[in-house]
Amino acid sequence: MSAAALSHGQNNRWIGRIAIYGLLILFAILYLMPLFVMLVTSFKTMDEIQNGNMLSLPQAPTIDPWLKAWGETCVGLTCAGIKGYFWNSLKMVVPAVAISTILGALNGYVLTKWRFPGHTLVFGLMLFACFIPFQSVLLPMATILGSLGRLGVTLQDQVGLSFGLGNPTVNLVIVHVIYGLGFTTLFFRNYYEAFPNELVRAAQVDGASFFQIFRRIMLPNSLPIIVVTVIYQFTNIWNDFLFASAYAGSGESMPMTVALNNVVNTSTGVVEYNVNMAAAMIAAMPTLLVYIVAGRYFVRGLMAGAVKG
């Protein structure tokens, strides 16, 4: 091949790379533009917002909108903010993610290493549950939660303990654990499918029990898929609005998403865009931090069980 042909081929490759990276940069800018507008608007005063360009940087940056959105700035005896609702979301998300991840790992372990007659049917039904729309389970789930609430009242009267049944936060934990179990089982089942069966058999020969194998062999080697599951579940549960608005009511037990919607929709007079944007940034901060800290492990974990052998 001549030098001219080689040079022509290299030029074409460079042109192709420039075009690809140019499109990627353009799409990244378009995708991140709303986030940029939210961030800069949250540090502006109302005068600057009304008289300036929404894409311009704040000329006199202020954190007052963030303090007011969080609830640290009070007018008289009223301290409106989302601080309490932020902690409500944390109290809901942490146990829901932990429980659904552990149960998903156990299900995946059983469906791959302790198979029983009909295990494919069970997995198929759990997989089918992943595609059930949220709206179709609202009324049946409300009926179940009502029954659990009445059971909690009965237990409280008889033994003095209700175990939190009927509490809006506990209700949301139950809902998200049940609804997320199909996805967590799918993740762990596919991951454990590629895990060597010989290790499990060797542990059985050595006398290891069901839970010893799970705790000492399976879980220590499951970090990639655990990261995937935690990120997926955390994002879905934290950003959920439908279940939160349906089962948490409108009181002090509301999670962040419902409170944020109320903050935006209950503005009277001049709409404080800076406060609204600051509240939205606070609500989005946990998921952003999760992806920044553990995002690079997300794709690795998804691909870890993609190929067997």
pLDDT in the model for residue 12:
72
Mean pLDDT on 12-34: 88
Q: Is the pLDDT of residue 155 over 70?
A: yes
Split at pLDDT 50, 70, 90, the class of 273 is: confident
pLDDT in the model for residue 242:
87
Higher-scoring residue by pLDDT: 72, 214: 214
Which of 43-52, 184-193, 235-244 is least confident? 43-52
pLDDT digits (tens, 9 = 90+) for 239-252: 988 888 888 866 77
Domains of the chain (ranges; CATH) run 3-70 (no CATH), 83-304 (1.10.3720.10)
* Alpha helices by DSSP H, the chain: 3-41, 46-51, 64-70, 83-113, 119-129, 138-159, 168-193, 197-205, 210-213, 223-239, 242-247, 256-265, 273-304
Point out which residues pair with 75 in neighbouring strands.
78
Q: Is the pLDDT of residue 190 over 70?
A: yes
DSSP three-state, residue 78? strand
Average pLDDT over all residues of the chain? 83
pLDDT in the model for residue 76:
42
Angle (deg, nearest 10), helices 256-265 and 273-304: 150
Q: Is the pLDDT of residue 78 over 50?
A: no
Query: CA–CA separation, 254 vs 258, rounded Å?
Result: 6
The pTM assigned to this predicted structure is 0.82
Q: Is the pLDDT of residue 260 over 80?
A: yes
pLDDT in the model for residue 268:
59
pLDDT digits (tens, 9 = 90+) for 89-141: 999 999 999 999 999 999 999 999 888 888 889 888 888 888 888 888 888 88
pLDDT in the model for residue 309:
42
Higher-scoring residue by pLDDT: 198, 71: 198
pLDDT in the model for residue 4:
59
Chain centre distance of CA 263 = 22
